[in-house]
Amino acid sequence: MRIIKKKNEKSLIREFLQIFKREIDKKKKSKSRLSFVLTGGSSPINLYKKLAKSNIDWSNIDLFWGDERFVSNKSKNSNFKMANDLFIKKVKINKRNLFYINTKTKDINQSSLEYQNKIKKYFKNKKIKFDICLLGMGNDGHVASIFPNTNILKKKSIVSPVNRGDFKRITIGLKIINNSKKIFLWLSKKSKTSIFKKLRLKGKKIPINNLNKKKLYCFLIN
């Protein structure tokens, strides 16, 4: 696990952008595309705002979502809407490069299967390996919509529906997250750093403790 510590969020975002741009350059040199999984929640808000202003060529970047609440994509609770409002609609990116979770269907299982097929088709039914998977962390240690003490932790499915808490949700699985080439855990608040340190001692029942350490970049505030 690589720990990236900074004194403030501004410095942390700067470090993220340096790494992100290096990955984009690598893909351009190899004439291939970069698959980037976005996270929801409040943690990435300032990062997304900065992405809107950064000099990034989005032409060879494909965006996916790690999870989504089963609400309209116009709802204030939609992860798609948050990312779209904060940076996607402010940069030059083709709509064909947006692989979001369709929540217009009335059946969450149908939406889950549709998103799973979308991912499988993108990777041409070969091993699914996102280039970068960006994750936030809930106070209970959940990532995406993979919560502690649930069977979703043990599932090996690509995409699963989740019926927990205040919203029904759809999430990519832990196996798919860990297959990613790089996993960026974004902890841009001091309170999150403190929680992270405590949760690290609680074992495998906590989702963050199941992340692939060899691929994990942990961004946190000192």
Domain coverage including residue 201: 2-221
User: CA 53, CA 139: separation in Å to the nearest integer?
Assistant: 29
Q: Under a CB-based contact definition with an 8 Å cutoff, are residues 206 and 199 in contact? A: yes
Inter-residue contact 50 to 17 (CB < 8 Å): yes
Strand order in the sheet with 216-221: 2-6, 216-221, 182-187, 132-135, 34-38, 61-65, 98-99
Residue of 180, 166, 201, 150 whose CA lies nearest to 39: 180
The answer to whether the beta carbons of residues 98 and 31 sit under 8 Å apart is: no
Give the pLDDT confidence score for residue 129 in this predicted structure: 98
Work out how many domains the chain is built from and give that number.
1
pLDDT in tens, the chain (222 residues): 999 999 999 999 999 999 999 999 999 999 999 999 999 999 999 999 999 999 999 999 999 999 999 999 999 999 999 999 999 999 999 999 999 999 999 899 999 999 999 999 999 989 999 999 999 999 999 999 999 988 888 788 999 999 877 899 999 999 999 999 999 999 999 899 999 999 988 988 999 999 999 999 999 998
**DSSP 3-state helix, strand, coil percentages of the chain (rounded to 5)?**
40, 25, 40
Instruction: Look at residue 89 in the predicted model and tell me its pLDDT.
Output: 97
pLDDT at residue 171, as a whole number: 97
Whether 161 and 151 have beta carbons less than 8 Å apart is answered as no
Measured between its terminal Cα atoms, the distance across the chain in Å is 17
> What pLDDT sits at residue 153?
80
SS3 169: strand
Q: What is the pLDDT of residue 52?
A: 97
Question: At 132, which amino acid appears?
Answer: I
**What is the structure's pLDDT at 33?**
97
Which CATH number do you get for residue 60?
3.40.50.1360
Q: What is the pLDDT at residue 154?
A: 79
Query: Residue 97: what are its φ and ψ, rounded to 5°?
Result: -95, 5
Give the other-Cβ count within 10 Å of 8's Cβ.
Answer: 12
- The secondary element (H helix, E strand) that includes residue 4 is strand 2-6
Helices (H) and strands (E) in the chain, counts: 6, 10
Beta bridge partners of 184: 134, 217
Helix (H) or strand (E) holding 86: helix 79-86
